Structure 1
Amino acid sequence: MPLVNRSHDSSAVPRAGRRRSRLRRTAVVAALTVLTLPGLAAVPASAADRPSPSSTSSTSSAPGPSSTSDVPDVPVVPNQAVPLDDFYTPPTPLPDGADGEIVRWREEPRQLSARNYLVMYHSTNATGQDIPVTGRVLVPNTPWRGEGPRPIVSVASGTRGVGDTCAPSRWLDYERPFIEPMLLAGWAVVVTDYEGLGTPGGHTYVVGQSEGRTVIDIVRAATNLPATGLEAGGKVAFSGYSQGGGGAMWAGELQPEYAPELDLVGVAAGGVPADLTEVADGLDGKVGFGFLLFAAYGLDAAYPELDLGSYLNERGRETYEREKDACVEATLPHAFQNIGMFTSTNPLRSPQWQARLDENRLGANPPDVPIRLFHGTLDEIVAPGQARTLRDEYCAAGADVQWEWHLGEHVSTMVTGAPGVITFLDRRFRDRPFLGHC
């Protein structure tokens, strides 16, 4: 798709200006492309994008790739999950390994003109346990023309659902158009599946103490895998929207203590669920109630002592069994329902649940790097007020924050906020001046 009018004489425009203009145009076109995707639902990957169900992967401490020359030409059936393969089943017992150490990997057919690696790596969950996590590493053909090693953007995905079939690494999803301009800029992109998406166990949906670590550790994994050619010590940024906005911001808050060796230069996060209690209150009885169900499942998966089942009535238990492996489209039938329809007692009001919700509230440890936050004024899924509070807390603590309101609801703000994210990241990777709004 041509992005530049070839008849236009740009010789009089400074080179840096032409590059920034191309980045903005690419981001806008990529952002608008998302509008052609069907709603919020993920779309199955093409045969060239998906893993081969018949392929095998190395599980040794010095893992090697699997062959990708025999990837079958499997027809795409709309809205049908890609079959799971054994790559996502970790070895038993899980071998010891440091955070970010590779458990297994394989190279797959190229995506978006980038070398494409499926990885399983070590991370640490919300209760301090070593866990296997999967994800993708994309290394573009486009060279990095800035200083130092090729930068890495760890993209925290928005809501996919809570079932294994929803894992970001297994789907051609609605964030793909936003990743493309990053690759065209010469940046490597890594995308985690988070805890429990693809790998065994429940997905710890919106539990920042888990998500933040998985977002960080896939950067380590990418540089720990020699096949990628990515070097440790290069500039790193975290980026995400919605659930991914929370994951990116949690990675930013955890990084100084958890991964001080990373050269983190910025965090871009939109639609951030910073205060889960306030977000839950804004979903109960409203159009996005299905996301509240996912959040309850996620907290229960992260903290088994919360014992969600003990709070559920018969309808709640039936719904849990039906939706515990659901993807994002399953939220739609639950619009305008309320938590009292599914519980005998509201778990979110119990001291045990409140304590865990407080542990996963952003704002206590502002990242010491430039931050770009944006939110929709009409966001019907993630309450705008609590996002504004996060901005105010960061500013009061002396953080460098850019803040931008967008006139729109949740999905449209993801689209309109994308060009600003690309510009922000480009300036961070090139050490350009930062203008904060605090």
Structure 2
Amino acid sequence: MLRSVTSTTVATIVLVALSVIPLSVGTSMAAAQPIYPAPDPDSFYAATAELGRAAPGAVLAVRTMPDLPMFPGTTSTMIKFRSTNSAGTPIAATTTVLTPSNHVPGGPLLSYQHIINGLGTQCAVSRVLYTDNPDLMIREAPALNAVLLRGWSVVLPDHLGPTSAYGAARLGGVLTLDSLRAARNVARLGLADSPITMLGYSGGGMATAWAAALAPRYAPELPLVGVAAGGVPMNLVTMLEGIGYSPHPVFGLAFAAAIGLEREYPARLPISEYLNPAGMAVRDRIANSCTNDILIAGAGRSVTDVATSTSLAYEDRARAVLRENSLEFYDGIPTTPIFQWRAFYDALIPMDAIDNTIRRYCAAGARVQYELYPSPDHLSAAVLGMPAALSWLDARVRGEPAPSNC
């Protein structure tokens, strides 16, 4: 996995892809259907008969997983649970819970949302944990081990969902909340009375921040005590309007995000209908791929290489999808204290959108600690802000009043 690639980079470029692929209804082209990932060969991931009758967060299956050497002294439990996609359809989702040996019932719980770059089911966190090269976890392992040593349990949701809907930020928030519901519903984990914190950066920060904003309406019963999110893109429309159309080294990931959004919004973002033969070939090649293979397939390409037209198409239904996945436009206010951080200058994300969202939260009475770091780039800000974020979350678990610099 390339350390310099983040899902924020991808989100930025994919919006260009959406802007130049025409989405007009009156096309003479034969309709091409979205391409979905091949079902996971492990039947544990499959939907079950009781899915439609279950409530969001209901546990559908549980199994104990092998120990993970990168998290010594912990046990690993995988949960399949019921959630809901962006069309309101019940889906079966998965999450992994790490339980430290010094855990006590009711001990703190951290939900950590990783950056997941991929379209295949094997790209999910629960899968990557058990690969020979679990790059996804290497950067995060020290921070997660720090909280595990304190006796905290850690939840790692597969927040792209069963169709690997890469790019669908709001869905990530829903899946994160239902993952927490499910973890609390497994009695043997001892989490029913646990104070809950959430943490994530960049793409993981999008799922985290959306979960915080959705929680008061979607999951008000969850005992959230603090949420830390960094480097969060909060206005996808602004990204669309501010990006050019030159070839990009990570265009493959951008193209993958377009495919992921089409999976979640097939009627409103019919991307596949407007791909040229080269675009369809790349689409089919990466439909089940993770980061490196996607990067290779798209290296040196641009939107003009894969689309049938380069005309700008700001159609209402396409822009509406972007707004629905932009926190700046969501009217919900987190009721849980928030730690938000970003680089003082970040070329990858619209900083005004973060500032505007935080001002709205503050005006509504939210407790927000908003920190800027003198970072030279997007990823450095993640490293600089993580220790403060963990310290801030620890103080919330201890019951200290949340500071605010609104």
TM-score by length of 2: 0.79
1:426 aligns with 2:400: no
Structure with the bigger RCO (C-alpha within 8 Å, sep 6+) is 2
Query: Take 1:276 and 1:141, find their aligned partners in 2: how far apart are those partners?
Result: 42
Query: Take 1:177 and 1:327, find their aligned partners in 2: how far apart are those partners?
Result: 24
Mapping for residues 84-233 of structure 1, pairs under 5 Å: 84-91=41-48, 94=51, 96-111=53-68, 112=71, 113-143=73-103, 149-171=106-128, 172=134, 173-174=136-137, 175-196=140-161, 199=162, 202-231=163-192, 233=193
1:301 aligns with 2:268: no
- 2:318 maps to 353
Query: Take 1:179 and 1:294, find their aligned partners in 2: how far apart are those partners?
Result: 28
Select the residue among 258, 261, 268 that pairs with 2:228. Answer: 268
Q: Is the 8 A contact 2:59 2:182 kept in 1?
A: yes
Listed one character per residue, the Cα deviations across residues 223-261 of structure 1 (whole Å, up to 9, x for unaligned) are 111221222x43112211111101011111111111111
Query: Take 2:206 and 2:239, find their aligned partners in 1: how far apart are those partners?
Result: 12
Select the residue among 211, 217, 223 that pairs with 1:251. Answer: 211
Q: Is the 8 A contact 2:116 2:125 kept in 1?
A: no
Select the residue among 368, 373, 379 that pairs with 1:401. Answer: 368
Listed one character per residue, the Cα deviations across residues 255-287 of structure 1 (whole Å, up to 9, x for unaligned) are 111111111111111111211223344485455
> Which amino acid in the other structure matches residue 208 of structure 2?
A
Query: RMSD value over aligned CA atoms?
Result: 2.6
Q: Is the 8 A contact 1:372 1:424 kept in 2?
A: yes
* Partner secondary structure for residue 67 of structure 2: strand
Q: Is the 8 A contact 2:117 2:253 kept in 1?
A: no
Query: Take 1:170 and 1:288, find their aligned partners in 2: how far apart are those partners?
Result: 23
* Partner secondary structure for residue 86 of structure 2: coil
> Which amino acid in the other structure matches residue 338 of structure 1?
S
Unaligned ranges ≥5, structure 1: 1-36, 43-82
1:341 aligns with 2:305: yes
1:320 aligns with 2:320: no
* Partner secondary structure for residue 196 of structure 2: strand
Query: Take 1:190 and 1:349, find their aligned partners in 2: how far apart are those partners?
Result: 39
Displacement after TM superposition at 1:329 (Å): 2.4
- State the identity as a percent: 32
Unaligned ranges ≥5, structure 2: 7-39, 129-133
Listed one character per residue, the Cα deviations across residues 61-87 of structure 1 (whole Å, up to 9, x for unaligned) are xxxxxxxxxxxxxxxxxxxxxx95332
Mapping for residues 373-392 of structure 1, pairs under 5 Å: 373-377=340-344, 379-392=346-359
How many corresponding residue pairs?
354
> Which amino acid in the other structure matches residue 303 of structure 2?
I
Q: Is the 8 A contact 1:152 1:187 kept in 2?
A: yes
Displacement after TM superposition at 1:426 (Å): 0.3
Listed one character per residue, the Cα deviations across residues 6-46 of structure 1 (whole Å, up to 9, x for unaligned) are xxxxxxxxxxxxxxxxxxxxxxxxxxxxxxx863689xxxx
Structure 1 residues 434 and 215 mapped into 2: Cα distance closer, same or farther (>3 Å)?
Answer: same
> Which amino acid in the other structure matches residue 393 of structure 2?
L
> Which amino acid in the other structure matches residue 323 of structure 2?
D
Query: Take 2:249 and 2:239, find their aligned partners in 1: how far apart are those partners?
Result: 13
* Partner secondary structure for residue 274 of structure 1: coil
Q: Is the 8 A contact 1:121 1:132 kept in 2?
A: yes
Displacement after TM superposition at 1:385 (Å): 4.0
Listed one character per residue, the Cα deviations across residues 145-203 of structure 1 (whole Å, up to 9, x for unaligned) are xxx9212111111133121110111113233333222212221111111244xx3xx32
Structure 1 residues 179 and 107 mapped into 2: Cα distance closer, same or farther (>3 Å)?
Answer: same
- 1:236 maps to 196
